[in-house]
Amino acid sequence: MNRLYQPLTGTAVRLVPMERAHASALYETARAPGVWTYIPVRMESPEDMQRLVDEAMAEAERGHTLPYTIMDSADSRVLGSTRLFDLSDENHSLELGWTWLTPGVWRTRVNTECKLLLLTHAFETMGANRVQIKTDSRNERSRRAIERIGAVFEGALRCHYILPDGYVRDSVYYSVVSAEWPEVKHRMEHLLTSPPSSRRQVRLVGD
């Protein structure tokens, strides 16, 4: 697959290749309660975020992942992070995930636009046959967002992760394959142009 690692620009957001210098802003964005409830990583200090960024960058340098920092297109404020990972040249497959956003942009167009940018890059630039997305089975907000874009539910892996709080998580899996991509893309573009409830109203925590 083509591993072109470049900025991806939409209307509301820009996805820029992650840099180690982003760690401080990412940590400030991620401090709100609830951001890490379903993610299998401990995030309690700036050092935790620096470690996460360093690990993502190391994986990027090995060609295993494409980590992005999500920025507001209007003023370049950091809104969160996402990535493409588990890249398989043999099978032309990968996973979209490790997505987290500041709560101020939950239920806005930001998440949908991020996924549209990443899926477009995966299918139309990288030449993917399959993109999978997983989430905690309890995370109804995430599951609704994934189903809303037209990804197909495939099943669950039980007792998949032990989270930092000791909870044993089940993961549910969804996918989009290349034959479905034109319809999924059309669906997502329609969601992003549907007025007025889905129009982006970015409000960062504390603003």
Q: Report the CATH number at residue 151.
A: 3.40.630.30
Residue 95 falls inside a structural domain: yes
36-85 pLDDT per residue, tens: 999 999 999 999 999 999 999 999 999 999 999 999 999 999 999 999 99
* Overall number of domains in the chain: 1
Judging by beta carbons within 10 Å of its beta carbon (0-12, 13-18, 19+), is residue 151 exposed, middle or buried? Answer: buried
**Is 122 among the domain residues?**
yes
DSSP string, 33-98: TTTTTTSSS---SHHHHHHHHHHHHHHHHTTSEEEEEEEETTT--EEEEEEEEEEETTTTEEEEEE
List phi, psi (to 5°) of 101.
-135, 150
Domain extent, residue 185, equals: 8-193
Q: How far is CA 181 from CA 2, 53, 94, 133, in A?
A: 18, 30, 14, 14
Q: Is residue 71 part of a domain?
A: yes
Domain for residue 204, yes or no? no
Residue 182 DSSP SS3: helix
- The widest CA-to-CA distance across the chain, in whole angstroms, is 46
Mean pLDDT score of the chain, rounded to an integer?
A: 93
**Would 199 be classed as within a structural domain?**
no
- Residues 134-158 have pLDDT tens digits of 999 999 999 999 999 999 999 999 9
Residue pLDDT, tens place only, 90-129: 999 999 999 999 999 998 999 999 999 999 999 999 999 9
Do 100 and 35 touch, CB atoms closer than 8 A? yes
Residue 155 lies in a domain: yes
Q: What is the torsional sign of CA 27, 30, 34, 40? A: negative
Is the residue at 201 inside a domain? no
Mean predicted confidence (pLDDT) in 182-204: 73
In a domain, 3, yes or no: no
The pTM (predicted TM-score) of the whole model is: 0.91
